[in-house]
Structure 1
Amino acid sequence: MKLFQKLLLAPAALGLMAPVAASAADLNIAGLSQYGSQEQVTSITQFSDVQPTDWAYQALSNLIERYGCVAGYPNGTYRGSRAMTRYEAAALLNACLDRVTEVTDELKRLMAEFEKELAVLKGRVDGLEAKVGELEATQFSTTTKLRGEATFDMGAYSYGGSYDRGNANTGPGLSDKPLYSAWVFNYDVRLNFDTSFTGKDLLRTRLRSGNFAASAFDGGQYRITKLDKSFESKAGPNVVDVDRLYYTFPVGNELKTTIGARVRNTEMLAITPSVYKSNISDFLYGTFGTAGVYNKETGAGAGLVWKQKVKKGNPFMAAAINYVAKEAQNGNPSAGGIMTDASAGSFLAQIGGAGKNWGLTGAYRYGQCGTDLRSGTQYTYNNSKAKCADIQALGGSGAATNSFAINGYWQPSQSGWVPSISAGWGISTFTNGYEVKIDTQAAQSWMVGLQWNDVFVKGNSAGMGVGQAPFTTSTFSGATPYDGNYTWEWWYNFQVTDNISVTPALMYQSRPAGQNTPIGETFNAFGGVIQVGFKF
């Protein structure tokens, strides 16, 4: 209730208090005259008989300091335990009303002085209300928001080294297939329809299209050259696919569940294990340098994420498990289904902790034949793609990969010369039936990414990533593998606006074909790209 309203009710309240108040016959007129003529006090400490332990101390202090309408007796006392006469109450009420009148007159003066400005503001508010009403009347859904992202990629790769086939323009392991080296202009567009029914759940439907299939950036020739955003439908370029369809909802305060017909395992994690955000390399950025575990398997699946509930900024623990079957839509158990030998399924588990500036995670993925390591040298990646049917035709069965990864990051509290550091190491082993089809028994990978924020201009960033994509480290035959490789990228992100960014980048791969490059020979790839991103 406002002060003025309280004061208007004061006489009624005082009337109810009349039985306990002194009568007019007991009134000391001289004392009242002295009380009413006293100047208002400015601090409660001026009253010698008011102590901080008194129950009304704070209320009296507020009246004095905020409104300045409390007076005392000439001897510096307030006499708070004494009954108040109606005349004394009238004197106090009159002083407070004078203050309210002063405030009211001041407000009237200010309103008159800023009359034009207030009229303009009222007009703007009325206009905004009209626009909000129009939007509400024309929106296609009260529960769904459209979030879009379009990416343009312009650039090229060139190939060199002692094993470059010159005029034939082919690379190791590609037979007579030409290497793509022309300057290209590709696009990747995503439209997310995010629906919430309770405010805490999410139904995501993503439509996606692109034209990367014949580009040097799609990883079709050497997987390590693939960009993170490089999509093309299996039906061909410029065809729109339903790329995601899943529903996430909370179960209690710390647990949430996801289930979907088109869901990706890396979108059901408890902790994102890296703060390196180049948006360029699929290996260094997209799979956090540990492509054997975080292989972006997409299909029908479900997952659980537990995250410890703590005060914002405090360290917390988290864990996640999920299962994705690439061939879940196929009803033939020898060719697909859920939890069959032919599901091409991936089971991923992650556990870790994170704080305001750091994170540390460990993860494991069990992958059936038909899944892959997502990235790697041409030799190792092609080996990891062995299909169950091909293995079974050669007498093998129960083939699987077991992959482990450790990832961590640290970032400074403020931008400066010290960059954020993200790192990861992973190992994958091939078991049982794989030996009848391939020779790779184990493969490893690692990465380190450095990123500087607010470089030259606030909002811009720069970074460098280096690592080795999955490469064969041991074989079933016992032969020594020569599959090592290195990959680098350097980039700078111009944040033109909140919704538009331009990122030029340079990429280099020392041995993208791995063991397919003969011993003693060299073969490398050097590329450049300008990536323009739009978010809406």
Structure 2
Amino acid sequence: MVAGIGLQTKVSANETQVPGTLTPLVADVDSQSEGQVTSVSQLSDVQPTDWAFQALQSLVERYGCIAGYPNGTFRGNRAATRYELAAALNACLDQISDKFATKEDLATVKALQEEFKAELATLKGRVDSLEAQTATLEAQQFSTTTKLKGEAVFQASQVFDGGNIDTRPTFSDRVRLNFDTSFTGKDQLRVRLQARNIQENRLASGTNMTRLSVDGDDGNTFTLDDLFYKFPIGKNGKFTAFANSADFYSQVNTFNPYLASDGTGSISRFGRFNPIYRLSERGNSAGFVFNYKFNDKIGASLGYVAASATNSVGPTGGFLGGSYTALAQLEVQPVKNFGFGVAYAHTFQEEGLVNLSSGTGSAFSSNPFTNAQSDATNADSVGLQFNWKVLPQFNISGWAGYTRANYDGNNLALQGAKADIINWSAQFAFPDLFKKGNLGAIIVGQQPYVFNQNFAAAGDPNSNFHIEGLYRFQVNDYISVTPGVIVILNPNNDKNQKTDFAPVIRTTFTF
């Protein structure tokens, strides 16, 4: 039996059943038989009038030993290559050996074997080689249920402001290995290992406003990052349970399709999406996200993230009772090229874990009451996001965010203290700019700043302005190079500080 070339056994003499993946032995009248030629020796055709062709046709009709034609018949009115005839003969040999054959048929088979001896030997060698390769692949494959996907980022950057900041250029990296497993074909278990050595730019500039999309320093030691299991609920629902590094932005639509990725999108942390999606994000966080599509135009997402879910000792931490964020979002796409979402989040952040601006914006917007991640705080945040595909090569996206922060600590002097925080961004992406696969982008916006408060404290004296430009060269399907620059006017919302510049060259390898 020759497998993989359109042969099939145990069928009737006048009717065959052809799977959709089979390739005809003899080209159909409507197809190009020349496409089947793979070597010079195949150029010598066997004509329907030749004895070998007629003899084999007679065997096929009596023993039903081959299949593979689109209309389910053995076609005897078209020439066949010697290899095609040899393949058909090989199938008949397997079939006839299991059936009673007349002396005349056995003599015919013997004559055909002699005629196509060289071709039969070649086919056997090819099949043996394929079987050996298949066995090797089966023995060496990583897993039948798990796929390994990797990403490596090489990043060169520096922060400077024209003289006040003494910094050095850096060259660092991040590696991620994603192990994606499916048990049913519709679910996903992700285990991510991560190693990185990219220091946050705030250590040099003194502000989170200069942070890059890719940062974090674990000393290039592999640690467990993402750990979640995602599965469908009914036809329109999807549930994701996080056991580590829980977040909203990986499972909820952020309405920034071209720039949300940290490895291939925006070069800044702020430029990826509204900070509302990062609330309560921490390495040992856990939680869940539920997505539901009501129809093609309307969907919704609900989520809960506990920042210190693994802490079992009170009075702080735990999956319930400690720092957490609950988020709800309505997603609407009235037309094919435009969509928007309205998100609401309530967060409680206990003493020592306060970070209302999610690692962006000024220090005061991160913690408006004590500026040192101390004293518990709760907040309500609203975000409006949109994405508009104006043209195939021009996309506009953006957001506006508002947060009302409330003091929730024990300092009597701050009881009833409130602060209002806003941020916004407008993003212009140019996919396939100059070359298919490349991307140009301009991002402007205002990182989180406190514009109103009701207590006596030194707040944000001014507002900031974020400007970012980048161009991603897609070298091939696996490598991209993205140079860009981040410019921050009034860093830390202080007009007396000089403008910060953060040029970046990011090279991303995917495998």
TM-score (norm 1): 0.67
**Contact kept? 1:318, 1:353, Cα under 8 Å:** yes
Candidates 473, 476, 490, aligned match of 1:494: 473
**Contact kept? 1:380, 1:440, Cα under 8 Å:** no
Structure 1 match to 2:206:
221
Structure 1 match to 2:291:
306
**Contact kept? 1:490, 1:506, Cα under 8 Å:** yes
Pairs within 5 Å for 1:125-164 = 127=129, 129-160=131-162
Q: What count of residue pairs does the alignment treat as equivalent?
A: 404
**Structure 1: distance between partners of 2:314 and 2:166:** 39
**Structure 2: distance between partners of 1:134 and 1:464:** 49
**Structure 1: distance between partners of 2:172 and 2:503:** 13
Candidates 330, 338, 343, aligned match of 1:363: 343
Look up the SS of the partner of 2:434 in the other structure: coil
Structure 2 match to 1:62:
none
**Structure 1: distance between partners of 2:481 and 2:129:** 36
TM-superposition CA deviations, 1:476-513 (whole Å, max 9, x none): 22788523001111111111110110011011000222
Q: 1:260 to 1:134 in 2, by over 3 A?
A: same
Candidates 359, 376, 383, aligned match of 1:405: 383
Greater helix content: 1
Task: For residue 113 of structure 1, report the CA deviation from its aligned partner.
Answer: 11
Pairs within 5 Å for 1:45-444 = 103-108=75-80, 127=129, 129-160=131-162, 169=164, 179=165, 181-213=167-199, 216=201, 221-233=206-218, 237-267=219-249, 269-277=251-259, 278-285=265-272, 288=273, 290-295=274-279, 297-298=281-282, 299-308=284-293, 315-340=296-321, 343-354=322-333, 356-369=336-349, 370-372=353-355, 373-383=357-367, 390-391=374-375, 399-412=377-390, 414-415=392-393, 419-433=394-408, 441-444=419-422
Look up the SS of the partner of 1:137 in the other structure: helix
**Contact kept? 1:303, 1:320, Cα under 8 Å:** no
Q: 1:401 to 1:125 in 2, by over 3 A?
A: farther
Task: For residue 264 of structure 1, report the CA deviation from its aligned partner.
Answer: 2.5
**Contact kept? 1:258, 1:268, Cα under 8 Å:** no
**Contact kept? 1:186, 1:211, Cα under 8 Å:** yes
Task: For residue 195 of structure 1, report the CA deviation from its aligned partner.
Answer: 1.2
Structure 1 match to 2:34:
none
**Structure 2: distance between partners of 1:125 and 1:224:** 62
Look up the SS of the partner of 1:336 in the other structure: coil
More off after superposition, 252-261 vs 202-211: 252-261
Task: For residue 127 of structure 1, report the CA deviation from its aligned partner.
Answer: 4.8
Task: For residue 459 of structure 1, report the CA deviation from its aligned partner.
Answer: 1.0
Q: 1:360 to 1:483 in 2, by over 3 A?
A: same
Unaligned runs of 5+ in 1: 10-64, 67-99, 161-165, 170-178, 392-396
**Contact kept? 2:159, 2:204, Cα under 8 Å:** no
**Contact kept? 1:293, 1:364, Cα under 8 Å:** no
More off after superposition, 112-121 vs 403-412: 112-121
**Contact kept? 2:249, 2:277, Cα under 8 Å:** no
**Contact kept? 1:293, 1:426, Cα under 8 Å:** no
**Structure 2: distance between partners of 1:111 and 1:130:** 21
More off after superposition, 255-264 vs 102-111: 102-111
TM-superposition CA deviations, 1:232-278 (whole Å, max 9, x none): 23xxx122221111111112111121222214322464423212323
Task: For residue 382 of structure 1, report the CA deviation from its aligned partner.
Answer: 4.2
Look up the SS of the partner of 2:267 in the other structure: coil
Look up the SS of the partner of 1:338 in the other structure: coil
**Structure 1: distance between partners of 2:407 and 2:451:** 18
Task: For residue 186 of structure 1, report the CA deviation from its aligned partner.
Answer: 1.2
Q: Which has the higher contact order (CA 8 A, sep 6+)?
A: 1
Q: 1:149 to 1:112 in 2, by over 3 A?
A: closer
Task: For residue 390 of structure 1, report the CA deviation from its aligned partner.
Answer: 4.0
Look up the SS of the partner of 1:513 in the other structure: helix
**Structure 2: distance between partners of 1:259 and 1:266:** 11
Structure 2 match to 1:26:
none
The one-letter amino acid of 2:80's match is K
**Structure 2: distance between partners of 1:224 and 1:411:** 28
Task: For residue 402 of structure 1, report the CA deviation from its aligned partner.
Answer: 0.8
More off after superposition, 273-282 vs 101-110: 101-110
Q: 1:281 to 1:386 in 2, by over 3 A?
A: same
**Structure 1: distance between partners of 2:208 and 2:73:** 79
TM-superposition CA deviations, 1:408-436 (whole Å, max 9, x none): 00114633xxx100010000111143685
Unaligned runs of 5+ in 2: 1-7, 16-28, 31-71, 88-117, 260-264
**Contact kept? 1:475, 1:481, Cα under 8 Å:** no
Q: 1:423 to 1:335 in 2, by over 3 A?
A: same
**Contact kept? 1:465, 1:488, Cα under 8 Å:** yes
The one-letter amino acid of 1:239's match is T
**Contact kept? 1:371, 1:384, Cα under 8 Å:** no
Task: For residue 403 of structure 1, report the CA deviation from its aligned partner.
Answer: 0.7
**Structure 1: distance between partners of 2:201 and 2:281:** 22
**Structure 2: distance between partners of 1:523 and 1:325:** 38
TM-superposition CA deviations, 1:96-119 (whole Å, max 9, x none): xxxx99952414269679999999
Look up the SS of the partner of 1:239 in the other structure: coil
Q: 1:406 to 1:108 in 2, by over 3 A?
A: same
Please state if 1:475 is matched with 2:461: no
Task: For residue 157 of structure 1, report the CA deviation from its aligned partner.
Answer: 1.3
Please state if 1:505 is matched with 2:477: no
Task: For residue 225 of structure 1, report the CA deviation from its aligned partner.
Answer: 1.0
Indicate the RMSD between aligned Cα atoms, in angstroms.
3.6
Q: 1:101 to 1:404 in 2, by over 3 A?
A: closer
